[in-house]
Amino acid sequence: MRLFAEINGGSQDDECKASRCSHHGPVIRFPFRLKHQPEHCGYPEFELSCSEEKRTILELPYSGKLWVKEINYVSQEIVVHYSDDCLQRQILNFNLSASPFTYEYAYDFSFFNCSESKAESFWLTSIPCSFLSSNPVYATWSSRSLAKVNLSSCWKIFNATLPENYIYGGEYGTFMNWSKPMCGNCEAKGNKCQRKKNNSREPEIECIDKPAKGAPMDKMVLTEAILGFLHFTFGIFIIFIVYRSNKLKREHRVNIQKFLEDYRALKPSRYSYADIKKITNNFKDKLGQGGYGTVYKGKLSNEVFVAVKILDDFKGNGEDFINEVGTMSTIHHVNVVRLLGFCADGYKRALIY
């Protein structure tokens, strides 16, 4: 038989999730449970089942099957009809003493079996479903005076304490409520009432807070997702910058190497970066600062002093270095400094005048 599952905020295991027998049937959750669900999903004697007609059925000891039309978990009451739509047929059997339910409104009635039909009145009500014999059966409030009631050809058969709707029928059904477990206050707060999983003979209950909409947990998940996305984007950006920088440096180095091969015939001396450090005495004497590098005092020997220009390796694309070496290598004039050598050691570049 198909059940209509309902999402229950803050639900526990799927085996105990709230459900319905039909789209319009009452929601079934703790303290009620369906027969196929584990015992810890409900409270003792609150077992329900679904009929072939998709009705919600409560089966009480000694009282037969009741059709549950409504369940109010806050006021802890249910509205029931007999499954065969004839409450009166079960008057003799109906007994709530062995169940956790009680009548919300109950009164003492007297029942009479009459050999002749009687006219119904304010004091006397006909029972439409025959349950004793073919003779008509009538009921009246036991507290009412029967002086104005013609009870000739009638004899009293029994008294019973029953809800008024049970006698008079009608579409509203019979109201019953329960006192245990006490989950009304928990339900009124919008929380979840459930049975503690323990081995005690008397089941204990607990009230579990339901996370509200926009709860801190939801905000935390959203924040973590946003931060994760930002970290990922920033990581990709850094990788791109490093890759771009390395690519440009490789391109600059290739340009310089190609130039040096083309100008090899000009025979300027090539020095290593270690030679440059030795020539400048580890860059001890600084002569000036230019747009493309710093100039240091150095000497090749005791008689030959030189100016060493250390080019910034992070500026330009190598063209300044190429242009200066190419130009200065071809100029020989008494009033112009002469290029004696250069350094192109990895990404380290320098010019010696």
H helix runs in 169-215, sequence order: 184-188
Task: Specify burial of residue 134 (Cβ count, 10 A radius: 0-12, 13-18, 19+).
Answer: exposed
For residue 323, report the phi and psi dihedrals to the nearest 5 degrees: -65, -45
189 is in an annotated binding site: no
The upper half-sphere exposure of residue 192, i.e. CA atoms within 13 Å in the direction of its Cβ, equals 21
| Tokens, residue 334 | 């008494």
CA angle (181 as vertex; 175, 182 as ends), nearest 5: 85
3-state secondary structure of 41: helix
Separation between Cα atoms, residue 220 and residue 209, nearest integer Å: 18
Please state whether beta strands 174-178 and 77-82 pair in parallel, antiparallel, or not at all (unpaired): antiparallel
**d(C-alpha 6, C-alpha 160), whole Å:** 40
SS3 call for 104? coil
DSSP secondary structure string for all residues of 273-305: HHHHHHHTTTTT-EEEE-SSEEEEEEESSSS-E
**How distant is the alpha carbon of residue 106 from its chain centre?**
46
**313/322 Cα distance (integer angstroms):** 13
Could you list the residues known to form a binding site, using ranges.
Answer: 309
Which residue ranges are tagged as binding site for ATP? 309
